């Protein structure tokens, strides 16, 4: 992927994380990147293609970060918790896929598929790490919920206290 496409994905991710899927336009993304809207359309012919690409890249990066934590010695649950915690402290925003999942009924099917992929791969990876399915779902739900509470109440310590029982 070239630099312009990467910059478009970065800008779209920032917009989606700030205002949701319905809260961004090609015009906004183009202005953020410093290109014409036609350039955004060239790389991503439709809004759902752009949002799906953002969600796919987010999921891949997230899973890579979890893999890195595990390679450094963290167990699977601690690795997931660390990546969520780092994202919260770095970005002070919701998990991209968690935020889009909250409005999944408004998502185009192509985007919904990518958001589902984040959750399904998360559950699958946690199960591969030794958890039963229900426990894996519990971990994902706890992390997303703690991140939501920490964001809405503007208190990052709530993430730590809300997820402490996981480790």
The model's pTM is 0.93
pLDDT of residue 1: 72
Degrees, nearest 5: CA angle 61-139-151: 70
Q: Which pLDDT tens digit goes with each residue over 95-154?
A: 999 989 988 898 999 999 999 999 999 999 999 999 999 999 999 999 999 999 999 999
Q: Which pLDDT tens digit goes with each residue over 64-92?
A: 999 999 999 999 999 999 999 999 988 87
pLDDT of residue 90: 86
Return phi, psi of residue 6, to 5°. -65, -40
Domains of the chain: 47-163 (1.10.357.10)
Please name the residue that has the structure tokens 């402290």.
Answer: 89
The tokens describing 81, both together, are 């918790």
């Amino acid at each position: 992927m070239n630099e312009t496409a990467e910059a478009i994905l970065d800008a779209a991710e920032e917009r989606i994380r700030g205002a949701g899927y319905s809260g961004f336009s090609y015009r906004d993304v183009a202005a953020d990147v410093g290109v014409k809207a036609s350039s955004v359309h060239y790389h991503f012919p439709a809004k759902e293609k752009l949002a799906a690409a953002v969600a796919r890249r987010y999921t891949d990066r997230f899973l890579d970060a979890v893999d890195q934590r595990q390679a450094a010695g963290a167990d699977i649950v601690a690795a997931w918790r660390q990546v969520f915690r780092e994202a919260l402290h770095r970005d002070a925003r919701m998990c991209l896929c968690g935020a889009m999942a909250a409005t999944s009924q408004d998502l185009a099917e192509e985007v919904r598929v990518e958001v589902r992929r984040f959750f399904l791969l998360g559950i699958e990876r946690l199960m591969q790490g030794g958890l039963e399915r229900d426990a894996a779902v519990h971990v994902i739900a706890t992390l997303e919920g703690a991140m939501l509470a920490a964001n809405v109440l503007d208190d990052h310590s709530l993430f730590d206290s809300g997820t402490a029982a996981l480790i």
